[in-house]
Amino acid sequence: MRQKEFLHTVLPFKDKVFRLAKRLLVSTDEAEDATQELYLKLWKNKNKLKQYNNIEAFAMTMTKNYCLDQLKAKRSNNLKLVHSNYKDHTISLQRDIELKDSVRKVHELIERLPEKQKMIIQLRDVENYEYEEIGKILDLQPTAVRVALSRARKTIREQLIKQHNYGIS
């Protein structure tokens, strides 16, 4: 596979790879590094790529595995991922609750989900994959994907309503 052909097949989903990596690794820098690392891996294995009938799903699986490995390495080093998304609640209480604030709240709620649900939400609601594709990427049955997805969506909605009511009263 030549470089041009390679780029033509793998570049269209680079943003999806990056967004999934960011969903799992939280920090933008780490997600960028992971994306670059992943494309390097794909390039090294470029001759084997043709064996896979769905290269995008294969790349997404690789992304998932790579990021989970990274997370595991971080945890065994006793390092916690630091993210600067914490906000000062006193300030946001003083202001009216803006839409932007609650969008950020959604982000935090998704961050708190278990990794599997996080990935499924990302793949379905952000990247619009079909259940079968998600199943292929994550190595799950489509029904299992639906169950986890439903659970994740309900959790987020409950938390949102809870926070909303708390804000009013």
Partner 1 sequence: MELANIEQLIKKYENAETTLQEEQVLKDYFQHNNVPGHLIEYKAYFNYFTESSAERFTKTIPLKPRKMNWKWLSIAALVVVMVSIYSINQSRGLSEKDRLEAVNAYQETQKALQLISKNLNKGEHVAVAGLQEFGKAQHKIFKTTKK
Residues near partner 1 (CB under 8 A) are 3, 11, 14-15, 17-19, 22, 32, 35-36, 39-40, 43, 99, 102-103, 105-107, 125-128, 130, 145-147, 149-150, 153-154, 156-157, 160-161, 164
**Which residue number, 94 or 128, has a Cβ lying nearer to partner 1?**
128
Nearer to partner 1, 17 or 138 (CB): 17
Name the token pair of 102: 């609650």
For the bound state, the minimum distance from the C-beta of residue 97 to partner 1, rounded and expressed in Å, comes to 10
Write the CA distances from 28 to 13, 60, 85, 111, 163, integer angstroms: 17, 18, 12, 14, 27
- The residue type found at 130 is E
Tell me phi and psi for residue 33, to 5 degrees: -60, -45
Pairwise CA distance, residues 142 & 133, whole Å: 8
Q: How far is the CB of 108 from partner 1 (least distance, A)?
A: 10
Residue among 123, 116, 88 nearest 104 (CA): 88
Question: Residue 40 corresponds to which tokens in the numbers above?
Answer: 């390097």
Q: Which is nearer to partner 1, 115 or 158 (by Cβ)?
A: 158
Nearest CA among 57, 69, 67, 70 for reference residue 123: 57
The smaller minimum CB distance to partner 1, of residues 64 and 105, is found at 105
Quote the least distance from Cβ 163 to partner 1, whole Å.
8
Q: Which is nearer to partner 1, 72 or 157 (CB)?
A: 157
Smallest gap from residue 25 Cβ to partner 1 (A): 13
120, 152 in Cβ contact below 8 A? yes
Q: How far is the CB of 92 from partner 1 (least distance, A)?
A: 14
